[in-house]
Chains A and B, each alone.
Chain A
Amino acid sequence: AQKVTQAQTEISVVEKEDVTLDCVYETRDTTYYLFWYKQPPSGELVFLIRRNSFDEQNEISGRYSWNFQKSTSSFNFTITASQVVDSAVYFCALGGPNDYKLSFGAGTTVTVRA
């Protein structure tokens, strides 16, 4: 069975602070995919990143960066120099090798205060 744990329920920071969101996953698959989605207050799910299990390179996209550590089954997400517009719920998700049924974590609510 696949499981995603986002231990942080809520994080509140002041603008320009960095914030790191933790994601730990469990799977028996050797090939799998990890995702991060952003859900702003308007409710839609915005795709941020997809990473396959064979690619452990960290990735940076603007103020966003991701740290994939297969040894600890973690796929953490950092927002650098946070802005008020980053306020949202962030979901980590896990997909299997042959289907794209995603298992979502419970989400972390990030509030960035001006």
Chain B
Amino acid sequence: EPEVTQTPSHQVTQMGQEVILRCVPISNHLYFYWYRQILGQKVEFLVSFYNNEISEKSEIFDDQFSVERPDGSNFTLKIRSTKLEDSAMYFCASSTNNGELFFGEGSRLTVL
């Protein structure tokens, strides 16, 4: 069964460092998303991406964040200068136009 894959599964970084989280969405999907979940809290929307541009972003998604689809398969989330409060599980998701989101297994980011 096709699935969304994310790498790395866990990354530890120092505050102020840049981090790139990678995602390979399901191949025929057109919409891509990043969500995050701070430990023990609800899952929160960060950004949606369609047709090579951001379609919507939340207030969490500030200038420190960026997304990119550098080739036909990868979808990346970059955090330019990580803060302690960026520590969370980051989920990539993708969907067709039927709105059925499939999530990856998540990338746990720990900022020290």
Contact at B105–A43, with CB atoms within 8 Å? yes
Q: A33, A91, A95: which contacts B43 (Cβ < 8 A)?
A: A91
Instruction: Kindly state the separation between the CA atoms of A104 and B100 in the bound complex, as whole angstroms.
Output: 15
Interface hits, A89-110 → B, CB 8 Å: 91, 93, 95, 99-107
Q: Is the contact region of chain A dominated by helix, strand, or loop, or is it mixed?
A: strand
Q: A42, A50, A104, A105: which contacts B99 (Cβ < 8 A)?
A: A50
Minimum CB distance partner of B97 in chain A: A100
Binding site for B on A (CB under 8 A): 33, 35, 37, 42-47, 50, 91, 93, 95, 99-107
Which residues of A lie under 8 Å from residue B99 when comparing CB positions? 33, 50, 95, 100
Interface hits, B90-112 → A, CB 8 Å: 91, 95, 99-106, 108
Check A43/B89 contact, CB under 8 A, given A99-B48, A100-B33. yes
Q: Chain A nearest CB: distance from B28 CB in Å?
A: 16
Contact at B42–A35, with CB atoms within 8 Å? no
Q: Chain A nearest CB: distance from B44 CB in Å?
A: 7
Which residues of A lie under 8 Å from residue B43 when comparing CB positions? 45, 91, 93, 102, 104
Minimum CB distance partner of B102 in chain A: A47
B18 at the interface (CB under 8 A from A): no
